[in-house]
Structure 1
Amino acid sequence: MCDSLEERSGVDLTPQALCGRMNSDGAVQFMEAALTKTLRETVGPPLTAQEAAWLAPFPRVLLQDSSQIEVNEALTEAFKGSGGNASTASVKIDFSYDVKNERAEHIAIRQGTDSDQGFATDVLARVRKGDLIIRDLGYFSLAAFAQIMLIGAYFLSRLSYTVNLYKSADEAASPINLIQYINRFGGGQQTMEFSLFVGEKHRLPIRLGTSTK
């Protein structure tokens, strides 16, 4: 790597100096800047080209996801992987990007065996009133949703099949059969929206959108 750097840019570094730079805070900041630049150039133009009025009410729109990378098995103790056909060592990068303001909001490096749901509550320390948080089903957590709502922020998520839906917050209310409910009250429309409550214990008020397209 040192030889390659010298050949391409004329920078003369010893292996020890390069190792020090790769393990510095500056390396983390560089990765954040590189991810931000890449996302700005790929996400920005399409977002600008389409109607973005739906973003107006939110000061920040945080899009969170993770990516897993296999690394050398010598790093198993620090970054455990799933093993089997995969490496016993892997790194999971959890990244949150503010789509509206086009900048990195947060980055965390975890063990490959850590689940996305384990990151679900981390955002609570950084979320602000009025924010919109968009995450996939891996981050689904009713406890996290409840805290987001208490802060005065909003979330957008796919619905987990493991939770119950209710027509009211009354503890005596029975869960609904969603398919039957859609067929009965959806009016045969391709896109529908219902005001319901989710979670047997939490009974969180939500707007549920469905599509038959």
Structure 2
Amino acid sequence: MFSHHLGKSFSLMDVCSDLMEEYELGITKQAIDDRFNDRAVLFFRRILDRLLSAEFNTCKDFGGLLSRFNRVRIKDSTKFPLPKAFTHKYKGHGGGGNGGKSDNCESLISVQYEYDMLSGETMDLRLTDGLKNDLSDSRDFTDDIRENDLFIRDLGYCSLPYLEKIAGGGAFFLNRLPAKTVVYTAEDGYEPMDFKKLYAIMNKHKLSHMELDVLVGKKAKLPCRLVIMPVDNATYEKRIRKATEKGKHYKYKVSQEYRAKSRLNFFITNVDKKDLDTEKVREVYTLRWQLELLFKVWKSQAKIDQIKEMKIERFECQLYSKLIWLLLNWRIFKWMGNEIYKRERILCSVWKFYKYATRIAQRLRMALKDPVQMEKILIRVLKIAPMEFILEKKKDKLSQNQTFTHLA
């Protein structure tokens, strides 16, 4: 189960050979296949649940951010297609989308993942079918809201009930604002904002950003801060091209209002300006990109999206075991990263660490039975980290720790 890195090529015969070589356990392919059943899936699911419920004691004060927020909760999802035989449980779009990779498959799975940036604690990890979108997830699974939590999510999760739920719990949100959301100026609360006029003003005066007090929603009119920033022409053209392609598929034209909105980025938050000023809103929002990087690591290193035709119970056991492996290594990475940062003030790359963890996966697996060997591996990880896992700063981009420090 934990020979994750072999992807599609890992067969039942490979499992049999591995069991014989490592454990001197002789078993046939059929006997292995019979063991992939509902009880085995539940077993792996419970292991994952126990791992998620464990407290990851990796908390540290990133540039004073802890004093302002209880937790910084970041959530995102990743989807990938499955064999057609899994359609009865993991439904897809059946080719009814507008051309994307995930639109043209009858079976699709979504992995929802949320963790706290401050402690490194994983708060949610679930498998759903591909038809369940982020919006319905934010409605059904935004739980355990504590006072002074900060929720950072993409526009796909943003809805008025979601925003009201967070604000009602004494917590804070920072979201991209969906294009269809109705926004009113706080001054009168009756006239919807004219985004075409707004863009013209920003363009005329060459403004890099603008902030307005607004009310969100036709009925509730939730008071928020709206931070507006223009996008470059390449981003604008990409948005219009995507909207035009979708419009052709569903037989509608892109409106002038949408074109005006597409020239701007909108960030909405209820965090007080003294705790998060206008210039830093986008910087904090970019912390969400850490999850996108993590999903890329999951797919490239653990190959969670490389699925061949097999029994669905076997697939679920394999996917859960890969997620368990990923979270265990995430725990090692957070511990190692904190230690190296305290000692050397050096930031570590999650990508480089997982590549290393993949190379020594068999040694780590065997070390689980021998605490002495595990200790040796962890000591070596700390020793080589400043040389092999250094995070290289990309031009004009701040890392997670640099962003936190900049907020101090």
Question: Distance in 1 between the 2:155 and 2:17 partners?
Answer: 42
For 1:141, the equivalent position in structure 2 comes to 159
**2:6 matches 1:6:** no
Structure 2 unaligned regions, length at least 5: 1-11, 96-102, 232-408
Task: Please state whether the residue corresponding to 1:124 is helix, strand or coil.
Answer: coil
Question: Distance in 2 between the 1:139 and 1:8 partners?
Answer: 47
Residues 95 and 163 of structure 1: CA distance in aligned 2, closer, same or farther (over 3 Å): same
For 1:193, the equivalent position in structure 2 comes to 211
Correspondent of 2:176 among 158, 161, 177 = 158
Q: Deviations over 1:158-210 (max 9, x none)?
A: 11111222222755x21121342465589643133222111121211111112
Instruction: Determine if contact 1:164/1:199 at 8 Å carries over to the other structure.
Output: yes
For 1:62, the equivalent position in structure 2 comes to 73
The structural deviation recorded for 1:33 is 5.2
Residues 32 and 158 of structure 1: CA distance in aligned 2, closer, same or farther (over 3 Å): farther
The structural deviation recorded for 1:72 is 2.3
**2:191 matches 1:174:** yes
The structural deviation recorded for 1:19 is 4.6
Q: How does 1:112-127 map to 2 (within 5 A)?
A: 112-127=130-145
Instruction: Determine if contact 1:21/1:27 at 8 Å carries over to the other structure.
Output: no
Correspondent of 2:110 among 71, 92, 97 = 92
For 2:220, the equivalent position in structure 1 comes to 202
Identity of aligned residues (%): 25
Q: Deviations over 1:57-102 (max 9, x none)?
A: 1111111111112222222111111122733122111111111110
The structural deviation recorded for 1:28 is 5.5
Question: Distance in 2 between the 1:91 and 1:28 partners?
Answer: 20
Task: Please state whether the residue corresponding to 1:58 is helix, strand or coil.
Answer: coil
TM score, norm. by length of structure 1: 0.77
The structural deviation recorded for 1:31 is 8.7
Instruction: Determine if contact 1:197/1:204 at 8 Å carries over to the other structure.
Output: yes
Q: Deviations over 1:95-115 (max 9, x none)?
A: 111111101101222111111
For 2:89, the equivalent position in structure 1 comes to 78
Which structure shows the bigger proportion of residues in helix conformation?
2
Instruction: Determine if contact 1:94/1:108 at 8 Å carries over to the other structure.
Output: yes
Task: Please state whether the residue corresponding to 1:118 is helix, strand or coil.
Answer: helix
Task: Please state whether the residue corresponding to 2:111 is helix, strand or coil.
Answer: strand
Whichever residue aligns with residue 107 of structure 1, its letter is L
Instruction: Determine if contact 1:169/1:197 at 8 Å carries over to the other structure.
Output: no
Question: Distance in 1 between the 2:210 and 2:127 partners?
Answer: 39
Task: Please state whether the residue corresponding to 1:83 is helix, strand or coil.
Answer: coil
The structural deviation recorded for 1:123 is 3.5
Structure 1 unaligned regions, length at least 5: none
Question: Distance in 2 between the 1:8 and 1:170 partners?
Answer: 74
Correspondent of 1:101 among 109, 115, 119 = 119
Question: Distance in 1 between the 2:76 and 2:38 partners?
Answer: 29
Structure having greater relative contact order (Cα 8 Å, sep ≥ 6): 2
Residues 62 and 123 of structure 1: CA distance in aligned 2, closer, same or farther (over 3 Å): farther
Whichever residue aligns with residue 78 of structure 1, its letter is K
Question: Distance in 1 between the 2:130 and 2:198 partners?
Answer: 40
Question: Distance in 2 between the 1:115 and 1:62 partners?
Answer: 19
For 2:378, the equivalent position in structure 1 comes to none
Task: Please state whether the residue corresponding to 1:129 is helix, strand or coil.
Answer: coil
Which structure shows the bigger proportion of residues in strand conformation?
1
Q: Deviations over 1:14-67 (max 9, x none)?
A: 413455675024346449959x9xxx9xxx9xxx9xx64445411111111111
Residues 182 and 83 of structure 1: CA distance in aligned 2, closer, same or farther (over 3 Å): closer
Specify the structure having the higher radius of gyration (Cα): 2
Instruction: Determine if contact 2:156/2:178 at 8 Å carries over to the other structure.
Output: no
Task: Please state whether the residue corresponding to 2:142 is helix, strand or coil.
Answer: helix
